[in-house]
Amino acid sequence: MISAGISNATRKSVYKREGYRCAICDSTKYLQVHHCIKRSQGGTDGMQNLICLCADCHALAHGMDLNGWGATKEDMEQAIVEYLADYYAPDWNPWGKDGP
């Protein structure tokens, strides 16, 4: 079954948790919600798997360096994991209650 996607209530909660800023660079422009663990890999639409990113950081999280920052997709993935793991420590679980 295909997920209907992130609910508006959850999306708003992610924006609010991050203070209406990109969790990585602090920008307030063109905010988007990103899945840390892709749904196709077992990630959920839950708060522990979602992060607020600006369009530039979101693009980099998908491997597109639009600004020539020199960072890699792997660098961004690491920053996202560290942010969420620190925020929800010690109980971070982006897969939900039962794990991957």
Q: Which of 63, 95, 92, 56 minimizes the C-alpha distance to 77?
A: 63
- Is 42 in contact with 95 (CB distance < 8 Å)? yes
Q: Does domain 8-67+78-88 have CATH number 1.10.30?
A: yes
User: What's the mean per-residue pLDDT of the chain?
Assistant: 89
Give yes or no for residue 1 having a pLDDT over 60: no
Backbone angles phi, psi at 17, to 5 degrees: -55, -40
Q: What is the pTM of this model?
A: 0.86
23 or 97: which leads in pLDDT: 23
Give yes or no for residue 29 having a pLDDT over 70: yes
Take residue 3 and report the two structure tokens written for it.
Answer: 């997920």
31 or 68: which leads in pLDDT: 31
How far apart CA 19 and CA 4 sit, in angstroms, is 25
In this prediction, residue 4 carries a pLDDT of: 64
DSSP symbol at 34: E
Domain range list for the chain? 8-67+78-88
Residue 66: strand, helix, or coil: coil
User: Residue 66 CA to chain centroid, in angstroms?
Assistant: 18
Residue 69 confidence class, pLDDT cut points 50, 70, 90 = confident
Q: pLDDT per residue over 41-52, tens digit each?
A: 988 999 999 999
